């Protein structure tokens, strides 16, 4: 009837029901889950190596597709920069698009899914970054970040400006692998398990594991500059790209809000040390990180409001790592 309206409590109940139902539907597409509501990350599908018969080492043959907000893609940019492979491996930076439900090429002419399907017609899998592309055969070499950074570390040394830098040395591989295994589930993927959890129980488990591991890392870094002693390795690269996003995105948007990284005595200084390492800061775009996460993950931030803080100033503060390392 004209002039009448639903009582406020009914509006709230109806709104909550509609939003919860839509949220569950959107989250089921965004983040696959198990029966407990815990996030399940699908596996990557392409695992070729440079050095395979079909993919010999060559300059300017291989091409990276990356998204600036993606921590997995960011790993490859860091290794590319540290090794000095900018002239050997070209890059396309794709753009996150909520409307297309994935990544778009920067000129808007194609989606990344189109590129995947050009290599494999009818492909129905996940079209993720990073993706290492072979320009000669027009095929996908690899789309698993953990493997791509190993490839970039050693397979193109003859074209690298810093071939002497070995981020995965033989004598430290067991230790690097051990750190990677511990950090992946609890931290790298752990922040997503918090942010994409679809039940309170799943979130509680993920959050506890995340901060237990961060506390362990803080203790470990109290007497070593890097995770494996005084040498920078792939374990540090893999951890860095999660930590750099933590305070500006994961702390708030993903509900990882027990403690900021900058508030850890050793872990915060370690992050600043890595950020200030020559070449690494140039791979970071904090504004793109915020824009993509807050602007495109609609189920987590339906209003699309972007927080004002950048976190940039904290990263430039003195880290004092040498004074924290016992002599």
Residues 179 and 317 in one domain: yes
Residues 90 and 204 in one domain: no
Residues 145 and 192 in one domain: no
Q: What is the pLDDT of residue 26?
A: 55
What does the H/E/C string look like for 192-213?
HHHHCCCCHHHHHHHHHHHHHH
Write down the pTM of the prediction: 0.92
Query: Distance from CA of residue 49 to its chain's centroid?
Result: 22
Q: Is 192 a catalytic residue?
A: yes
CA angle 170, 173, 179 (to 5 degrees): 160
The domain that holds 215 is classified in CATH as 1.20.1050.10
Domain that holds residue 320: 170-324
pLDDT of 326 higher than 80: no
Is the peptide bond preceding residue 130 cis, with omega within 30 degrees of 0? yes
Residues 148 and 290 in one domain: no
SS3 at position 96: strand
Instruction: State the catalytic residue, choosing from 65, 70, 264, 294.
Output: 70
Residues 237 and 291 in one domain: yes
User: Within a domain: residue 100?
Assistant: yes
Q: Is 284 a catalytic residue?
A: no
Element (H, E) at 95: strand 90-97
**Final residue belonging to a domain, choices 159, 184, 209:** 159
Residues 179 and 314 in one domain: yes
Residues 176 and 289 in one domain: yes
Mean pLDDT of the region 2-19: 67
**Could you give the number of structural domains in the chain?**
2
Where residue 12 falls among pLDDT bands split at 50, 70, 90?
confident
**Final residue belonging to a domain, choices 140, 159, 178:** 159
- 90-122, pLDDT tens digit by residue? 999 999 887 777 899 999 889 999 999 999 999
Least confident of 37-46, 83-92, 108-117, 136-145: 37-46
**Final residue belonging to a domain, choices 107, 135, 159:** 159
Cβ contact 277:119 at 8 Å: no
User: Within a domain: residue 87?
Assistant: yes
pLDDT of 144 higher than 60: yes
Label residue 186 exposed, middle or buried (CB < 10 Å: 0-12, 13-18, 19+). buried
How far is residue 145's CA from residue 44's CA, in Å, rounded to a whole number?
A: 9
What token pair was written down for 65? 């597709």
């Amino acid at each position: 009837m004209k002039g009448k309206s639903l009582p406020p409590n009914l509006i709230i109940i109806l709104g909550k029901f509609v939003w919860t139902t839509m949220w569950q539907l959107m989250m089921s597409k965004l983040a696959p889950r198990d029966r407990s509501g815990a996030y399940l990350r699908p596996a990557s599908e392409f695992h070729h190596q440079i050095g395979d018969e079909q993919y010999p080492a060559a300059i300017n043959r291989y091409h990276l597709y990356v998204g600036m907000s993606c921590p997995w893609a960011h790993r490859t940019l860091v290794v590319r920069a540290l090794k000095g492979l900018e002239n050997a491996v070209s890059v396309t930076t794709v753009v996150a698009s909520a409307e297309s439900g994935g990544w778009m090429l920067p000129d808007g002419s194609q989606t990344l899914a189109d590129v995947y399907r050009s290599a494999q017609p009818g492909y129905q899998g996940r079209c993720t970054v990073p993706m290492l592309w072979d320009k000669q055969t027009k095929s996908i070499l690899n789309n698993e970040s953990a493997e791509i950074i190993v490839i970039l570390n050693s397979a193109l040394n003859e074209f690298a400006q810093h071939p002497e830098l070995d981020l995965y040395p033989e004598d430290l591989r067991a230790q690097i692998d051990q750190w990677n295994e511990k950090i992946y589930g609890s931290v790298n993927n752990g922040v997503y398990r918090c942010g994409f959890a679809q039940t309170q129980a799943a979130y509680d488990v993920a959050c506890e594991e995340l901060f237990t591991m961060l506390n362990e890392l803080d203790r470990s870094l109290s007497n070593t500059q890097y995770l494996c002693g005084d040498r920078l390795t792939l374990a540090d690269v893999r951890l860095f790209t999660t930590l750099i996003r933590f305070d500006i995105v994961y702390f708030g948007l993903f509900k990882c809000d027990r403690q900021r990284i900058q508030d850890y005595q050793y872990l915060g200084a370690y992050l600043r040390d890595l950020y200030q390492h020559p070449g690494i800061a140039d791979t970071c775009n904090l504004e793109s990180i915020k824009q993509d996460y807050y602007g495109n993950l609609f189920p987590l931030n339906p209003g699309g409001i972007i927080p004002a803080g950048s976190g940039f100033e904290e990263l430039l503060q003195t880290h004092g790592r040498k004074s924290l390392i016992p002599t």
